[in-house]
A and B are shown apart, each in its own frame.
Chain A
Amino acid sequence: MTKSSGAALVLHGIGKRYRLGRSGGLVPVPLFGDRLERLERDRRRGVEDDDELVEDEDEALDETEERRTTGPARELWALRDVNLVVQPGEAVGVVGPTGSGKSTLMKILGRITPPTEGMIEVNGRVAPMLGSLSGFVVSEASVRANVGILARFLGVPHAVVVRNLESILRFAELEGLAHMKVKYLSRGMSDRLAYAVGLHFEPDVLLADDRVVAGDPPFQERCLARIEELLARRTALVFASNRLRTVTDLCTHGLWLEGGEVRAHGTVEEVVDAYRDSLRPAEPDPEPLVPSPGPPPPEQGTASADVDSAEPEPEPEPEPEPEPALVTVAAARLLNQEGGLVAEARAGETVTIEIELEVREAGVILTGSLAFAQGDERPRFVAPSPHAVDMPGRHVLQARVTLDGVVPGDYLGRAGVIVNHADGRVSEFLRPKPFRFSVEPPEDGGQRPSSPTASWTIMTPTGDPIVPASVN
């Protein structure tokens, strides 16, 4: 697809007015009890930011939801005078408290609802909101058929879908299951399918909200890696979320909405920092939010005590986002078999990729992941594996990768670490700076057709390796 040099997205004075609480009719139906009415009203208000994961396929014909409200009519400007230019390859993180107009903006960009005023120029194709496709997976249809169904919502011609079927299924890790009905798959697998389709075709503008990733940690990492790849290929991203860390990781620019109006617009760091500051109580916090990768806390006991004392940072209303980082990442580097830092490797050779981590709190699960790509190619992924970490301090995550079947050339390697709380909650996604390396042809000249293989270990501060945790 050729992309013109112009901006991907230009918003001119966008505003959206909702009329709320229009009368429920001549004879309002919820005759009994204010409670029901209140519930209705609350739900109507919640429409602004609702995170719908409801499956519509299961709706019966007659289960029409009541969304009307009673009471006096009222107007609400959910969005007012929003101006924004997004260049191809730029990623704009839209932040702001609940009800600030983030979702409305996304709905307008997704053409679900038109603006009341203003105008938007879109240069190219806008993909539906990432995550919205999950609701369209038809459980009675096969995986293969679902790829076609989902692609229809993207406006992708059928022939293109057929051509890309293999790589979509590969991304979703559902290769052997093309003919399986989706109802026999797990929810996570069906999400993977939806995200694989949603991320496969290169849109000119990609929209995402909190559901920017799905599935298990390795798949989440792959989604993020793919989004970065799309950005590198000049897709523009608008990402409305309160996952501030992911916003800073993915985005170049930030847009802070408050009460439907733009509070700040600038680089993502500026905007997110300002937004974070606004969430924090007036008194400055003595503890730095992100600990510098300094010396590890002396003892386990005091370490957790430290965290505890830092913890009761009064959480400013809606989002519990700005938590102190549990883990910080220093760097990723490529080592040869002898442990020396290298910038090139031979195909077929075994190398080690090291990721240095500073763990602040024990009881986390770290999942390393690794992807490398040559130029504009789709990245190759190395199977990740989770490790349970039970002590704080400096850890080194190592992947021993055998570069089988790797085409010689210059590569960009991206390592990532997903930090999960022991209870499975995803808390952070860390990515050290990408590293460059080149791959030489193998010594014997021939290419083995296999794929790269990897084994992961993690070295604890005491120098003991931990083998991968068994995952359920």
Chain B
Amino acid sequence: MSTVIEPRRPGAAHAAAELWRSRRLVGWFGKRLLEKRYQRTWLGWAWLPLRPVLDVAARAFVFGSILSVPSGGVPYLLFFLIGMSAWNLFQESLFWSARSLELNRGILRRVYVPRLTMLVGSLAIGAIEYLIYLVMAGFAVSYYLLADGTTYLDLGTNTLATVAGLALIVLLAQSFGLWLSVLGAQARDVRFLLRYFTGFWFFLTPVIYPLDAVPENLRWLAAINPVTAPVEMVKYGVLGTGGIPTEALAVTVGFIAVVATAGLAFFRRSEAAAVDAM
């Protein structure tokens, strides 16, 4: 095996091959991130389920009980849990991707590891929290089965839409992550802005309300939002509410194609500069 070290980084195919060879590091970076997040806490790993539970409890109460947001015939808690599971996967993956290089700068400054492993590893938090949302949804379903005698679920071939929606969310978050990781390593502004931006984005995405609750004159806003389609798909696949918004789906796929392609070029060009600047 021989390597060439040059000012120009090797191409995307090489980066992918390298990522595959170092796949064991991906898991390790994921684990390290989770541990770092919860170390020096009193409750430790208990925070892992606690954060989503608190999040859901507060928001479901406000939107479902106080504001009585419509939920297409499904109990609001369940509707919100499913939508939120998808959104949270996106939001956490996005946020932690922005910190993936920055949090590992001690390693980046000392040894060479394929830097994409850190970006992919940062999916760990979103993925784990998604599983926690699934468990919470499981509890909610059992509750409704006992209370109302129905699960309100609509599982079948449509469930494939959920799987596809989740895949799109991960791809979308990682595409943005290619940019955010490098920028986030250079300036903390990225992180601050991202927090506010995702907070706003959350309300623009049909998570707390169904897509058909959006007024006709603002539908375009939902349609150009690349997260709309995957979130709707996740809900449709499990609850059977709504459907697959084709226009929005096209937007999502287009976003991924453009952001990922340009992002990969940007990442390869700028990761080294980011490390130098750390």
Contact = CB atoms under 8 A, between A and B. Distances in A.
Contacts, number: 90
B15 to A, nearest CB: 13
Interface in A8-65: 18, 25, 52, 54, 56, 59-61, 64
Interface string B1-26: 11111111100000000000110110
A52 B109 contact: yes
B2 A121 contact: yes
B277 interface: yes
B110 A132 contact: yes
Contacts of A68: 277
B220 interface: no
Contacts of A126: 3, 112
Given A56-B107, A61-B37, A110-B112, A67 B278 contact: yes
B112 A114 contact: no
B153 interface: no
Contacts of A123: 2
B188 A125 contact: no
Given A25-B187, A56-B107, A129-B111, A122 B4 contact: yes
A128 interface: yes
Interface stretch (A87-95, A148-156, A376-384, A410-418): A148-156
Interface string A429-472: 00000000000000000000000000000000000000000000
Which of A25, A114, A136 has the most B CB atoms < 10 Å from its CB? A114
A108 B5 contact: yes
Nearest to A4: B2
A5 to B, nearest CB: 13
A136 B107 contact: yes
Interface string B172-205: 0000000000000001110000000000000000
Interface string B79-104: 00000000000000000000000110
Contacts of A118: 6-7
A380 to B, nearest CB: 31
Contact of B110 (A61, A128, A158): A128
A113 B276 contact: yes
A114 B9 contact: yes
Interface in B1-60: 1-9, 21-22, 24-25, 28, 35-37, 40
Interface residues of A, number: 42
Contact of B277 (A54, A67, A110, A158): A67
A153 B9 CA distance: 20
A136 B21 CA distance: 20
A216 interface: no
Nearest to A109: B5
A135 B3 contact: no
Contacts of B113: 153
A111 B275 contact: no
Interface string A244-278: 00000000000000000000000000000000000
B37 to A, nearest CB: 7
A111 B25 CA distance: 17
A407 interface: no
A110 B111 contact: yes
A164 interface: no
A1 B1 CA distance: 10
Chain B interface: which size bin? 35 or more
A177 interface: no
A123 B1 CA distance: 7
Contacts of B4: 119-122
A112 B5 contact: no
B74 interface: no
A218 interface: no
Interface string A133-154: 1011000100000000100110
B7 A64 contact: no
A117 interface: yes
B272 A114 contact: yes
B7 A56 contact: no
A interface SS class = loop
Interface in A57-110: 59-61, 64, 67-68, 108-110
Given A135-B106, A135-B110, A124 B272 contact: no
Contact of A115 (B6, B40, B106, B107): B6
B108 interface: yes
Nearest to B278: A67
B112 A61 contact: no
A136 B32 CA distance: 11
Contacts of B189: 25
A116 interface: yes
Contacts of A67: 277-278
Nearest to B104: A56
Contact of B22 (A121, A133, A155): A155
A155 B1 CA distance: 13
A125 B24 contact: no
Contacts of B277: 67-68
B111 A116 contact: no
A112 B113 CA distance: 8
A124 B1 contact: yes
Given A122-B3, A128-B111, A158 B36 contact: no
Contact of A114 (B7, B22, B111): B7
B28 A149 contact: yes
Contacts of B276: 18, 113
Nearest first, the 3 A-B pairs at minimum CB distance are A56-B106, A111-B112, A128-B111
Interface of B: 1-9, 21-22, 24-25, 28, 35-37, 40, 102-103, 106-113, 187-189, 272, 275-278
Given A68-B277, A114-B5, 19 more contacts: A52-B110, A61-B37, A61-B103, A67-B277, A67-B278, A112-B110, A112-B112, A114-B9, A115-B7, A116-B7, A117-B7, A121-B4, A122-B5, A124-B2, A128-B112, A133-B111, A135-B106, A153-B111, A155-B22
30 contacts: A25-B189, A56-B107, A64-B188, A68-B277, A110-B112, A111-B3, A111-B112, A112-B110, A112-B111, A112-B112, A112-B275, A113-B272, A114-B5, A114-B6, A114-B8, A114-B9, A115-B6, A117-B7, A118-B6, A121-B2, A123-B2, A124-B2, A126-B3, A126-B112, A128-B112, A136-B107, A136-B110, A136-B111, A152-B25, A152-B28
